[in-house]
């Protein structure tokens, strides 16, 4: 599938805001997303393909205004790639299944992993029925 066909596919399935974040690597404003201050049990799934990416038991309040997690739901669920945009060096995180932009991971987390997966609410959907089973 070409990039244009891929973009058209996702434009038909996502809101303009979701498309901007998920397919164009946009960022929602801090403290504005649906999940930045939600701490219900469940699985956070990719908004595009439904893959389980994070579990609620790994979510913490980082004070940054975006949902933050200290680990992924399972090894290989999230891909990392260098991001040198905006004049800074960061590590972008993407859904390994469909390539959707999720946010960035930083080495400043307060837990034993030392990681903070900083995720846009528009890139995930909380599945409360899933519990913390991770799709198993």
Q: How far is CA 106 from the centre of its chain?
A: 13
Select which of 22, 48, 64, 118 is catalytic. 118
Q: Quick check: is 22 catalytic?
A: no
Q: Are 46 and 95 in contact (CB under 8 A)?
A: yes
For the chain, what's the residue count?
136
Asked whether residue 64 is marked as a ligand-binding residue, the answer is no
73: tokens are 């739901």
Asked whether residue 48 is marked as a ligand-binding residue, the answer is no
Name residue, tokens 């034993």.
112
Q: Which residues are annotated as a binding site for Zn(2+)?
A: 46, 49, 95, 98
Q: Which residues are annotated as a binding site?
A: 46, 49, 95, 98
Which sequence positions are flagged as catalytic? 118
């Amino acid at each position: 599938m070409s990039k244009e066909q891929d973009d058209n596919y996702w434009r038909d399935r996502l809101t303009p805001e979701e498309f901007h974040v998920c397919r164009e690597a946009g960022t929602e404003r801090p403290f504005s997303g649906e999940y930045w201050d939600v701490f219900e049990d469940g699985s956070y799934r990719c908004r595009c393909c439904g893959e389980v990416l994070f579990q609620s038991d790994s979510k913490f309040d980082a004070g940054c205004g975006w949902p933050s997690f200290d680990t992924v739901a399972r090894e290989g669920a999230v891909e990392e790639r260098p991001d040198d945009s905006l004049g800074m060096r960061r590590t972008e995180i993407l859904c390994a299944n469909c390539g959707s932009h999720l946010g960035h991971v930083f080495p400043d987390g307060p837990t034993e992993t030392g990681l903070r997966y900083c995720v846009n609410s528009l890139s995930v959907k909380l599945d409360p029925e899933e519990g913390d089973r991770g799709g198993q």
